[in-house]
Structure 1
Amino acid sequence: EGKSKSKVCANVFCGAGRECAVTEKGEPSCLCIEQCKPHKRSVCGSNGKTYRNHCELHRDACLTGLKVQVYHDGHCEEKKTDKAVAASPIVCYLANRNELRSRVIQWLQHEVVPDGWFAKGSNFSNILLKYFKDYDNGDSQLDSTEFLKFLQHNETAINITSYADEENNRLLRSLCVDALIELSDENTDWKLSFDEFLNCFKPGFNPPERKCALEDETYEDGAETQVECNRCVCACGNWVCTAVTCEGTDKVPAVEKTEGADQEMTEEEWTRRVAELNKHQVSLAP
């Protein structure tokens, strides 16, 4: 006989950023909070990132597995230093990608209609096929723009609010779309056929946890490293780096001075430098 959540979780304390949930065995389990309340009371985290409220800060710390504390109320102030150091780039972590995927699966499962006595219902594949046809431009594939339009069909499902700035949240959603496409894009053309689209959202599929590699070392999702004045973050198996000069302007970083005249790294050279970081991707089976 199933026990109610209120009874099972009555004496369970999960800590900031977590909430009590009931397992299939009827036992209490502390999980990262699924969704924070939307009230806005911005706080600055110890990681230099501004959050919509305290709950979002603690939830992000739980999802990324990083220690983040409240530094002060309000937005974070930009630090002025003699030598500019880039802030962390906005990235889609494995936890963000998996959360978005889980929300979409839940939304689709709510639309499943079992067969009746006189009418045929709609199974999971039928529903996905309908959406695929609705947003496909006729080439039998979904690119990132079409995929995002599909997700925007249900704003609640994609309401990821990790950042206080809505523009950053929109960017995060776009990055997570790319991460979902990469997850099941078998021929690496950055487009999904219907079979690839179906595989992406199979409820029983456990996405692999990819790690980043650098100089014979492997790094967990969320790990950071410094390249000149730029910060690189491991996200979904790829190194994602900011691109600023050491003077702090939004350009590709300058190369150290040589005996000749000043030299500056071209955009192509910087792209190649980041590609070097991503040469060896490590995939862990679930």
Structure 2
Amino acid sequence: MLRILGLVSLFCILFQAALASNSEENALDMSLVEDECSMMVCRAGRECKVGADGEAACACLATCPDHFVPVCGSNNQSYDNFCLMHRDACLTGVHISLKKKGYCSNKSIKKKSSKKDKLKDENHFEPVVCFQWERDALRRQIINYFRHHTADQSWYRPDLKSYEKQFARFFMCDTTKDNFVDANELAACVTEVPFALRTTAATNELVKVLCVDAIIDSADTNSDWRLDFEEYKTLMDSSFQPKEKLCSLEGKKYEDGSQTKVDCNDCVCACGSWVCSSKKCDEELNEIDDLDEDEDLDDELDEAEDQSEDNTKDEVKILKIEEDIDLKIDDPDEDQPPKINSDDDDDMDDEEDEEDDEEEDEEIDVEPIKKSSKNKKKKLT
């Protein structure tokens, strides 16, 4: 018996010594890591990590704190804080700087303006939507609320593990007890979670319900519009990043928050889908549309008339040019440039006049000679 007790005590001593040595080695490893990273300076969005080879290097941050200070990056992307912006720059390898504090403004798709776009604002109603940044903000608020209010629940025990706490919360939200949590059940489970970002009190609850639908869709891997426990765990993981969705229109992709108009209704891209207001176009708008069409038709007719007039003028010009060419061919001397008088030209003219006079005199003298010869012939006969 004494031998057994001695062996047990010896085993305990050896076990404690092994634990002590392991703790010392771990402490030594931690000190080495701290020593390696103490001289390493990493840029924003990165942290120092020691690799398997024992060398320290800067790596992208795995997680960011939950504080809410929204910013707009130079890539026109909204972030909840600076850390997320710098982390995104590290992961994508693209330099992103601060464009402004607060979320980025929505982009609008430019359309040709018409008279109906100049109506009073009261004739247009903006659609109520949940944007992706609102979806992500509500999800973080739900995670923080569940984390800080777990101890208030009747099922809470201090010895519960994280996995058990999540399952207890999932079971509490699953009111139908079918092992699934749909959008209605999750919305009822988060009624006490505060949510008020950009909307008024009149639309805040509706936007919250829409954001709950978007949250369910972000973690719903099999597209059945409900979450099983594994999908629920993924959703409640603070490191989970929902995918950014784009809207399609006429073969092009548009970011979340882009706006356009269809007839008299406003449409907004929200969480990958176009959401439009359901306003019926009144008679005034229809009349304006008819006027716009008539004006467009009149403009087309005016353009056609102007074009025909221009063509007629061109034809007249061509005919005149052809007539001028014909005249030049018939009378080539008509369009010769006038001679410039000079002293030399005057002398030449005088000489030509003298030669003409001499020729005339010779002609005059020849005639009497001919006459006299005739007279002589008569006398001889």
TM-score, structure 1 normalization: 0.54
The answer to whether structure 1 residue 86 and structure 2 residue 121 are counterparts is: no
Q: Judging changes above 3 Å, is the alpha-carbon distance between structure 1 residues 179 and 110 closer, same or farther for their aligned structure 2 residues? A: same
**Which has more radius of gyration?**
2
Summarize deviations over 1:34-89 as a string: whole Å, max 9, x none: 8xxxxxxxxxxxxxxxxxxxxxxxxxx9335349xxxxxxxxxxx99389853221
Which residue pairs with 1:65 in the alignment?
105
Contact 2:125 2:279 in 1 (8 A): no
2:172 to 134, 141, 144: 134
Contact 2:219 2:242 in 1 (8 A): no
Whole-Å separation in 1 of the counterparts to 2:258 and 2:123: 17
Summarize deviations over 1:225-269 as a string: whole Å, max 9, x none: 111111111111111111111119xxxx9xx99xxxxxxxxxxxx
Q: CA deviation at 1:110?
A: 3.0
Moved beyond 4 Å, runs of 4+: 82-85
The answer to whether structure 1 residue 243 and structure 2 residue 278 are counterparts is: yes
What is the RMSD of the two structures over their aligned residues, measured on CA atoms?
3.7
Contact 2:106 2:258 in 1 (8 A): no
Which residue pairs with 2:199 in the alignment?
163
Which residue pairs with 2:190 in the alignment?
151
**More strand by percentage:** 1
Contact 2:266 2:277 in 1 (8 A): yes
Summarize deviations over 1:80-117 as a string: whole Å, max 9, x none: 9389853221110011001011111222333578xxxx
Whole-Å separation in 2 of the counterparts to 1:30 and 1:96: 12
Q: How does 1:221-232 map to 2 (within 5 A)?
A: 221-232=256-267
Task: Give the structure, 1 or 2, with the largest relative contact order (CA under 8 Å, sep 6 or more).
Answer: 1
The alignment-based identity, stated in percent, is: 31
Whole-Å separation in 1 of the counterparts to 2:120 and 2:137: 39
The answer to whether structure 1 residue 108 and structure 2 residue 160 are counterparts is: no
The answer to whether structure 1 residue 219 and structure 2 residue 254 are counterparts is: yes
Whole-Å separation in 2 of the counterparts to 1:30 and 1:178: 22
SS of the counterpart of 2:282? coil
Contact 2:260 2:267 in 1 (8 A): yes
- Give unmatched runs, 5+ long, in structure 1: 1-22, 35-60, 68-78, 114-118, 258-286
Q: CA deviation at 1:150?
A: 1.2
Which residue pairs with 2:221 in the alignment?
186
Whole-Å separation in 2 of the counterparts to 1:232 and 1:199: 32
- Give unmatched runs, 5+ long, in structure 2: 1-60, 72-79, 81-100, 108-116, 152-156, 291-381
The answer to whether structure 1 residue 174 and structure 2 residue 174 are counterparts is: no
**More helix by percentage:** 2
